[in-house]
Amino acid sequence: MNTTGFRTLLHKELLLQTVAAPVVSVLLYLLVFGQVLEGHVEAFPGVRYTAFLVPGLMMMAVLQNAFANSSSSLIQSKMAGHIIFILVTPLSHVELFAAFVLAAVIRGLLVGVGVLAVAALFVPLPLHNALWLAAFAVLGAAVLGTLGLIAGLWADDFDKLAGFQNFVVVPLTFLSGVFYSIHSLPPFWQAASHLNPFFYMIDGFRYGFFGVSDLSPYVSLVAVTIALVLLSALALTLLARGYKIRN
């Protein structure tokens, strides 16, 4: 493994990180939805709605920022033309994949920790199992970092990347149970939610706080792991072929 090249690329990707803006955005969601629906909605028995909301918002921030880190970095490199300086280095496609995805995971986790630190000032949160929290946070960020890498390879410009995010990532995120329990949905939409991999990430992550979830965390863990394996295989194949970056 080219450790020097890998560390250099990873350092470059980490320099693009921003944390404050996503934290502020999530805090606004918490204040608005928490104030409006607190006392009117009970997703889990004995759990305040604002407390229920925080893990969902936290995971939403992790996922969206992991996607943004890898996708925006790659599309900027492609459009500015300096991706050539990455391609001429003696880095394999596996090392390129690992650097982009690891940077995305780190950014996602940093934003998630920032959201938790700010939200804890307003809402007391229990902690049922830290290992489940860590597992779903890391796996979820890795899935979206990989998806962002695929989107960055596929997109030719910022408009296409924005379309991918607006029509794929954002809908799947908002329809994954961030603001509600799927048991409150009609049967058809409950079944549809099980086709959304984001649902398993958020539901499993929420279990780490409350010890309660819509599905068994083991089922969610398997679903998220399968999603990561499939997306990683696709991303590695595209990188190995130089898809839209070695023309």
Q: What are the sequence ranges of the domains in the chain?
A: 3-241
Pick out the chain residues at pLDDT < 50. Answer: none
User: 59: number of CA atoms within 13 Å, CB side?
Assistant: 34
pLDDT on residue 39: 57
Q: Report the pLDDT value the prediction gives residue 3, as an integer from 0 to 100.
A: 73
Using alpha carbons, select from 223, 76, 84, 64 the residue that is nearest to residue 148.
64
First to last CA, the chain: 25
Are 79 and 158 in contact by the 8 Å Cβ rule? The answer is yes
Which amino acid is it at 37? L
**Which pLDDT belongs to residue 41?**
59
Beta-carbon contacts of 22 under 8 Å, excluding residues fewer than 6 positions away, are: 61, 64, 65, 111, 114, 115
Of the candidates 191, 217, 223, the residue with the CA atom closest to the CA atom of residue 204: 217
- pTM for this structure? 0.87
CB burial of 160-190 (b: ≥16 within 10 Å; e: otherwise) equals ebeebbeeebeebbebbbbbbbbeeeeeeee
Q: Which residues contact 82 (CB under 8 A, 6 or more apart)?
A: none
Position 12 scores a pLDDT of: 64
Enter the tokens of residue 64. Answer: 């969206």
The pair of three-digit structure tokens given for residue 155, joined into one six-digit string: 């997109």
pLDDT tens sequence across 51-61 = 888 888 899 99
The 10s digit of each residue's pLDDT in 141-172 is: 999 999 999 999 999 888 999 999 999 998 89
